[in-house]
Structure 1
Amino acid sequence: MADPIKTCPDICPATGLIEEPKSFLGAGESRGPENPNATPYVPGNFTQRVPRVYPPGAPPIYLPQPTDTTSGDILGMGPVGPWASGHLDWTPNAGTTGVRPVVDKYSITRYSTGEWRQNNERILNPRATNKGAALEIQIKKDLNDALGKMDNKLNDTNKKLDKRVKDLTFWKKKVEDALNAITVELATLDANRVKLKGACRILMMPEAISRECLELRTNRYEPDLVRDDAEQELIKEVAIVGEIRRVFSVTLAKVEEMMCNLKAAKSSIEFDWSDKNLSLKLDKINLSLSPESNLILYHPGVARWTDNSVGLEYWEHYCSESIFNCDEVRQKSEALRSDLMTAIVKGSQDMKIQADRTNQAFGETVLATQQMCAALEQTLKDNLQKIVDIENLIEYLKESLRQVDERNKLVMTRLHTRNYERPSVENCRDEAQFGLMAEAKFIKETSESLADKMRQADDVRNELMQYRGQLEKEIACKRKSLQIDEDRCARVRAFMPTPEEFAGA
């Protein structure tokens, strides 16, 4: 025979339920203590409050004590009083909105005594005062060091300026000697100036073509502003024109050859003398200035290297080279060179070879640009497709979030019904309640995870959109470069003079 079902005799008695007669309270009668867990009041059960004892050497009672605990103050309840019973764990989140403290009829407990003492210590700690005193000492020390270093720098700069003035005076004297010598030599060759210009006139066409191509290529957009092979060959063309012009002046007859070289050298040495004279004057003025001078002003942005500044080694090389060139030209003015026509033929052949190399470099550059443009267009198509895929994924995530929200509303509705509509003891923590709580937690975590994935997908879409703009900009840049190299430069280079034209000049 099966065992009878075990039941609680107080709740579910085995015998039949006997309905007790109902009774009602009379006027003025009490329903009993509001807290059913509180012990009834017993006269004479109260004792004196035990004073709290702090260890020796403890700080004042308004500062944190060694006896303070972070595990929580237990708020017990005496045998009398209408206040709510229970306890609260004190945590660093006690001041955060959303923490529910113990609430009774007359007060709301929010912070513990230990937190109150910690706040007193934070207010009384003079961090700003100590920081200000340390800052004042440090600033005075740094200021004294800075002033001393500035004085040392000023003395060092004055010494260097004085040495620079002496160097400029030395080189200026040497340039003046070279200038006087070349002026005397130039006076004897002035009659041949017209023939010299006629010999160099033919070189203006290839030089103009090369410079025009270089100028056109400066209109390329910034990513394509590179010094490629075509750019290098164009620069070589410009350099070759200058070299051929120099060779023409050397290979002319004694008067015809040396006139251009002497004028160029004289002009160069005059510019060099003028620059040195002006630089010497300015450096002398700078050397005479001091912090007490009334000619000094603010000049923002001057503490930088200018675009046309050069190194000291190059300056010394330029000075010596300029004087050497003048002396060399002056000495060669009395000698005869090769025949002018031979020089023209050889120069035209060299220019033809360089023009073919430049055209070949243009062809390679155009081919590479075309291939890059095709690759960019294919990459743009792939990027657009990926943008569409990411946008579809975002829409799918939005739909999934809407479904998760529906589940969330469902579990919240169930919990609300069970928490606030079940009466009395029926509002128990059964397995269904635990299951609903677990489901609510899982739904919240799932929603947060989907929202994070939504943000990630949106960031990826923004990156793809930026990449799309970069690709479109690069494609426009490559097409602009192709238009310059294929159309405009090729049309200009069609007028490059041939060796026969040079020979017929």
Structure 2
Amino acid sequence: MATLSSKPGLRYSVSDWATNNKQISHTAENKRNVSHEIRQEGRALRNETTSKTNWDEYDSTRRLSDRINDVTRWKENLKACAQQLDAEMDALTLSKEETERALAATLLPLEVTAECLNLREGRRGMELVCDPVEAELKKEVEVIDGAQRILQQCIDQAFEQLCRLQEARQQLTIDLQDKIEALDVDMSCLSLTIRSPEISLKPNPTRVPPGSTTPQQWEQFSRYNITRAKEEMQASVQIRENNSITRAQVQNELEAQRMTVEFALRKRTHHEEQAYHEMQWQLKTTQEEIAELEKDICHLEEDMQAKTAPLKLVHTRLENRIKRPGMDLCRDEVQFGLVDEAKQLEATILALKQKLAHAQ
């Protein structure tokens, strides 16, 4: 009788086999269900992440566009402010140059006034008087000196304000240049897409670089630069107005003092001409009087000469009558008459001599 060989090992029953098959089928079904759920979740995640990525890309692009608009707006504001600042600097420079010309224009009047004072020092004698002309000329020197000091102060103020305007302009230029460079960067970023060949992964792109600012600080910085520039421009406008008013006032003061000096000179010249004509008349009258006096002296001398002969006659008669003899040597009326005549002639001659001596 033949014997059956049996394989050693554990043997399973049909029920175990069926149970195992069911378990495998159940496990496979569970795995498929899990896989299905994973696939569904993956698809949902893909859709969600795709939408999120697209939205984030769109939102970043929109924010870039808004940022570009903001930077462009501030750039235009800075540019307009810089142009206004340049115009104000040109206007202030022109005002400063006009003030410098006004200051230079005071040099010649000062030299003329000083020369007038020096020339008037050459007067001689009683003509060297401290008259109103000298007082007004000295006052004109003081007025011109004061005008020069005021104009120089205006020039110094304009120069200092120009320096402040240049500082504000430099700050605007730096800010404007930064805005232009930032616009170039943001415009370049805006032009990038997922298909751009120059995009790549970067190490730690989310880092915060040193010197970063907040949007509030960024806006406040540009606003401060514009505000400062406008304040400096307003101060410059005030300085230009003050310079214009000062130049007009100085011109009016110099013109008024010049007219005062000219009036004093004309008045003094008129008085001197009057005195000159008076002296001429006095000289002419005196010369005429001298001529008349010389004539009268000649007449006096002639009269004295004319009285000599009658005096000789009287003296001779008196001397001859002394020779009368005896009782005929009488002091008669003739004698008294001759004596009176002699005395009268001598008195007349003496009076003529005295008058002649006084006239000479």
Query: What is the TM-score normalised by the length of structure 1?
Result: 0.33
Flag the structure with more relative contact order, 1 or 2, with Cα contacts below 8 A and sequence separation at least 6.
Answer: 2
Larger Rg: 2
Query: What is the TM-score normalised by the length of structure 2?
Result: 0.44
